[in-house]
Amino acid sequence: MSMTNANFPMDAEGRTYHVGVKRGELANRVLTVGDPARAMILARHLDGVSEEEKAPGAKVAVPSNLFSLSSHRGFLTITGRYKGVPVSIVAIGMGISMMDFFVRECRAVVDGPMLMLRFGSCGSMMDAAVGDIAVPTGSYLVQRNPDYFYGEEEAKDANAKPYHFTKVFNADPEVTASLVKHMGAALGEDHIWTGINATADSFYSSQGRQDVNFVDTNEDLFEQLMAHEPKTVSLEMETFMLYHLAQSSTPATLKKKAQSNGNGVATKEKHSIRAGACMMVFAQRKTNNFITKEMVAEVEPKAGAAVFEALVDVSLGDEDDLHTEKGS
Ligand code: R1P
């Protein structure tokens, strides 16, 4: 595909460079996950999916009545409706760079306010057990500091620390409350944990995993995380970037929508994206337990239904736009 505009590349059809979506293919309410198979399974909750395609044991595929698009960089977008409300599901893979591509490119092709929810998996260093759900009210970023590891011992900067922790960026409180309510109703309140999430730039070193093949200097990382933020409840690799970018989103697209409606009303909103996240605990790092396939199969559909309820529950104060052939 040939792209124009090196600042924000788009092709002649208006498709973004990495996610590959264009105007009309994405709803204002978007659920993002890591794993494309999880996206396909969650899509079974959407309107109009045949009984055959959503039967337990059915082949994992995008339901045939829904719009879908696989990009050359591994993003999968599925768009349809949940209880009549336009929604999209986007599988992004892993890590903060993929979250950055997702948030910016999806924002670029949708007018009006957006709601972005992440439904993922995480590790827990506290009491949350495997199969429980974390709904973090905020997130900080844990970054490996390469400068600490630079050079021979005697040349090292004595003040450098191996890991850096950012400030906490908050989720939208109304979105979080809605997630807690619906998750609690689906799985039982005892299984829902609020608190603060830590997003790490590695699955390994900056999540405190020990690896004999590398010098990581992370033996006391958990203690450092708890000292930085005593309410740390979950550890994963994307949520910080979602919360941070939502708080950095400008009202530009809201003004545009007001103008395109012809009413010329300038918005008073500071941000055009509202964000929230929840994760299933897959790894219990205190006890070293890892979730079983059977448990995922039990928790994922219940939590998935709850996450869609939250996705359509929060008012965006505006009509959603959607013009796709399938799913409209
Ligand atoms: C690591 O195995 C991956 O799983 C978690 C982490 O954030 C990371 O992306 O999330 P997902 O299940 O959403 O991919």
How far apart (Å, rounded) are the C-alpha atoms in residues 196 and 207?
15
Q: Give the start-to-end residue ranges of the domains of the chain.
A: 3-313
Atom of ligand 1 nearest to the CA of 203: 1
What angle is formed at CA 184 by the lines to CA 37 and CA 293, rounded to 5 degrees? Answer: 35
Over residues 77-87, the mean pLDDT reads 98
Q: How many angstroms is it from 13 CA to the middle of ligand 1?
A: 32
Closest C-alpha to ligand 1, atom 9: 94
pLDDT tens-digit readout, 116-139: 999 999 999 889 999 999 999 999
Of the chain, the end-to-end C-alpha distance in Å amounts to 27
Asked if pLDDT for residue 259 goes beyond 90, the answer is no
Buried b / exposed e across 277-303, counting CB within 10 Å, b at 16+? bbbbbbbbbeeeeebeeeebeebbbbb
Q: How many angstroms is it from 44 CA to the middle of ligand 1?
A: 21
Complex-level ipTM: 0.98
Q: Following DSSP, what letter does each residue of 61-82 receive, concatenated?
A: S--TTSEEEE-TTS-EEEEEEE
CB-based contacts of 244, cutoff 8 Å, min separation 6: 139, 141, 169
Atom of ligand 1 nearest to the CA of 95: 9
CB-based contacts of 51, cutoff 8 Å, min separation 6: none
Domain 3-313 has CATH 1.10.760.10: no
Asked if pLDDT for residue 212 goes beyond 70, the answer is yes
Could you tell me if the CB of 296 is within 6 A of ligand 1? no
Closest C-alpha to ligand 1, atom 1: 203
Least confident of 48-62, 253-267, 312-326: 253-267
pLDDT tens-digit readout, 290-299: 999 999 999 9
Q: How many angstroms is it from 47 CA to the middle of ligand 1?
A: 27
Residue 199: predicted pLDDT: 98
How far apart (Å, rounded) are the C-alpha atoms in residues 174 and 176?
5
Tokens encoding 27 = 């709803």
Instruction: Enumerate the H helices of the chain as residue ranges.
Output: 36-42, 51-54, 96-108, 173-187, 221-228, 239-248, 252-260, 293-313
The amino acid at 39: A
Over residues 148-153, the mean pLDDT reads 86
Residue 156: predicted pLDDT: 77
Over residues 72-80, the mean pLDDT reads 98
Map tokens 């928790």 to a residue: 299
Q: Are 206 and 199 in contact (CB under 8 A)?
A: no
If we measure between CA atoms, which residue out of 104, 123, 100 comes closest to residue 114?
A: 104
If we measure between CA atoms, which residue out of 238, 184, 201 comes closest to residue 32?
A: 238
Tokens encoding 259 = 């103008």
Atom of ligand 1 nearest to the CA of 121: 12
Could you tell me if the CB of 123 is within 6 A of ligand 1? no
Could you tell me if the CB of 130 is within 6 A of ligand 1? no
Q: Which of 42, 139, 203, 285 has the most ligand 1 atoms within 8 A of CB, as the residue to mutate?
A: 203
Q: Which residue has the higher pLDDT, 328 or 265?
A: 265
Categorize the per-residue pLDDT at 151 as very low, low, confident or very high, splitting at 50, 70 and 90: confident
Asked if pLDDT for residue 323 goes beyond 60, the answer is no
CB-based contacts of 29, cutoff 8 Å, min separation 6: 85, 86, 87, 88, 114, 115, 117, 311, 312, 316, 320
Least confident of 60-69, 179-188, 262-271: 262-271
Atom of ligand 1 nearest to the CA of 93: 14
For residue 43, the tally of other CB atoms under 10 A from its CB is 27
For residue 95, the tally of other CB atoms under 10 A from its CB is 17
Could you tell me if the CB of 77 is within 6 A of ligand 1? no
Could you tell me if the CB of 94 is within 6 A of ligand 1? yes
Categorize the per-residue pLDDT at 263 as very low, low, confident or very high, splitting at 50, 70 and 90: low
Over residues 245-249, the mean pLDDT reads 97
Over residues 53-64, the mean pLDDT reads 95
Residue 267: predicted pLDDT: 62
Could you tell me if the CB of 121 is within 6 A of ligand 1? yes
